[in-house]
């Protein structure tokens, strides 16, 4: 694969902090770290439009004893069945559950599903990690 060289100027303090960060993350050189940051920015910008196809996970932690949260979560998942590829359910203790839902679809649809899940009474924490299907 052909590459093009570009120059980047940094203030010394910023460069020192960047070098420390990439050392902690295990990068062997600045170029690969900068390429990863650029890829991430491009992916995030594409996802913001909401129309991009994305794939990723919705992770939620909830108390299954609160209200009817388990049934409400199942109902939501059935509403979005065509966007859900897989679900993993883990019993954390007597009351708390962790679910990881693998999803694929338009970014705005996945965000709406995640927001609806996180808003349910009994859901204590939730997060979404997605990337474009074509990176």
Domain boundaries, the chain: 12-48, 53-132
Phi then psi for 129, rounded to 5 degrees?
A: -130, 120
How far the first Cα of the chain sits from its last, in Å, is 16
Q: How confident is the model at residue 2 (pLDDT cuts 50, 70, 90)?
A: confident
CATH class, domain 12-48, is: mainly alpha
Q: Are 12-48 and 53-132 equal in CATH topology?
A: no
Neighbours of 130 (CB within 10 A): 22
Average pLDDT over residues 95-122: 95
Residues 6 or more apart whose CB falls under 8 angstroms from that of 88 comprise: 99, 100, 101
Q: How confident is the model at residue 91 (pLDDT cuts 50, 70, 90)?
A: very high
Q: How confident is the model at residue 76 (pLDDT cuts 50, 70, 90)?
A: very high
Q: In CATH, what number does 53-132 get?
A: 3.30.70.1150
Neighbours of 55 (CB within 10 A): 17
User: How confident is the model at residue 43, as a pLDDT?
Assistant: 79
Of 130 and 85, the structure prediction assigns the larger pLDDT to 85
Between CA 103 and CA 58 the distance in angstroms is 7
* β-pair partners for 126: 60
pLDDT score of 44 more than 80: no
**What letter would DSSP give residue 64?**
T
Average pLDDT over residues 41-68: 87
User: How confident is the model at residue 135, as a pLDDT?
Assistant: 61
């Amino acid at each position: 694969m052909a590459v093009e060289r570009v120059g980047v100027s940094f203030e010394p303090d910023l460069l020192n902090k960047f070098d420390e960060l990439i050392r902690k993350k295990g990068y062997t050189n600045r170029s690969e770290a900068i390429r990863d940051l650029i890829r991430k920015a491009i992916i995030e910008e594409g996802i913001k439009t909401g129309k991009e196809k994305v794939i990723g996970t919705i992770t939620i932690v909830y108390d299954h004893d609160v209200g009817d949260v388990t049934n409400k979560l199942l109902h939501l998942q059935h509403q979005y069945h065509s966007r859900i590829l897989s679900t993993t359910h883990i019993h954390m203790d007597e009351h708390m559950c962790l679910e990881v839902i693998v999803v694929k679809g338009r970014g705005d649809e996945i965000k709406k599903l995640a927001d609806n899940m996180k808003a349910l009474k009994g859901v204590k924490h939730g997060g979404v990690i997605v990337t474009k299907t074509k990176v």
